[in-house]
A and B are shown apart, each in its own frame.
Chain A
């Protein structure tokens, strides 16, 4: 299990470093905007709960729309909340690093040489296109307190956009033929032609300028995340694979 071990070690190293860096970046970028938006969200919930207290409103209220589980555990504000955010960032980074390192290993398997940090950076940018740009066009990064279509329908569309974009880019990059390129572009466009699920009417107190700042902050944080993750994962993987292959040779 030499390859698997190298992939996992490289991913844990890169994921840990990138997860911590991105947590720090988020403290200046996305998190302050989330906290600002939650002020509007909580104010809206209070009005909502006050309305619920009136019996005639309960009769027409759809329970499924009220999905903020009141009893569910959540981290305390401040250090605890940020610690869970750091943990989730590290896990997400390790997860995506495993995906990247898996591809790097398959590519390296074909040529024999481990991928350079620069090739890793290119794979990272592909991850940025697949996991941030493509799904973000239909479902832009959204602040708490902004009403949206049902969660499951958005998750399904998100996954469809990711798979179609990955497959489309794969056809264009690896097939190198005109029909494959056309099919690739069509595949990337397909989920956007179908259209992401959205509400017909959105009413929110969260200012649109805040939402716009959030879209920019998320996209730039993601660019840092994927660039670092691509470069570091490939560097760590090449470093771990080199002594083993020289020992074998």
Chain B
């Protein structure tokens, strides 16, 4: 009983570190997709016009 508690205690920080890395990596990926989404896919005219040549050059669907 007490041994299993000790095992849990020693493993917890490692598990928390792994979850932290996973969460941080996923946050970065979501941020990246958001940036690409706004630059490449926003329907707002001003953003479309500013990024026009990039959208065509990246073969993102454009007007």
What residues make up the interface of A, taking CB atoms closer than 8 Å to B? Answer: 1, 3-4, 7-8, 11, 26, 29-31, 34, 67-69, 72-75, 81, 84-85, 87-89, 91-92, 94-99, 101-103, 105-106, 109, 132, 135-136, 139-144, 148, 151, 154-155, 158, 218, 221-222
Contact A89 B28 (CB under 8 A): no
Closest A residue to B47 by CB, please name it: A88
Contact A4 B53 (CB under 8 A): no
**Does B63 reach chain A (CB closer than 8 Å)?**
yes
Interface residues of B in 1-58 (CB under 8 A from A): 18, 20-22, 24-29, 31-36, 39-41, 43, 45-46, 48-54, 56-58
Question: 7 closest pairs, A vs B, by CB?
Answer: A98-B32, A95-B35, A72-B45, A102-B29, A74-B49, A154-B61, A95-B36
Which residues from chain B contact A96 at a C-beta distance below 8 Å?
A: 32, 36
Contact B21 A105 (CB under 8 A): yes
Contact B28 A4 (CB under 8 A): yes
What residues make up the interface of B, taking CB atoms closer than 8 Å to A? Answer: 18, 20-22, 24-29, 31-36, 39-41, 43, 45-46, 48-54, 56-63
Smallest CB separation, B60 vs chain A (Å):
7
Closest A residue to B26 by CB, please name it: A102
Contact B50 A68 (CB under 8 A): no
Docked Cα-Cα span, A1 to B45, in Å, equals 36
Q: A151-B61, A218-B57, A218-B58 are in contact. Are A84 and B29 (CB under 8 A)?
A: no
Q: A74-B49, A88-B50, A135-B59 are in contact. Are A3 and B29 (CB under 8 A)?
A: no
Smallest CB separation, A191 vs chain B (Å):
14
Contact B46 A72 (CB under 8 A): yes
Smallest CB separation, B35 vs chain A (Å):
3
Which residues from chain A contact B21 at a C-beta distance below 8 Å?
A: 3, 105-106, 109
Smallest CB separation, B8 vs chain A (Å):
21
Smallest CB separation, B20 vs chain A (Å):
7
Smallest CB separation, A115 vs chain B (Å):
12
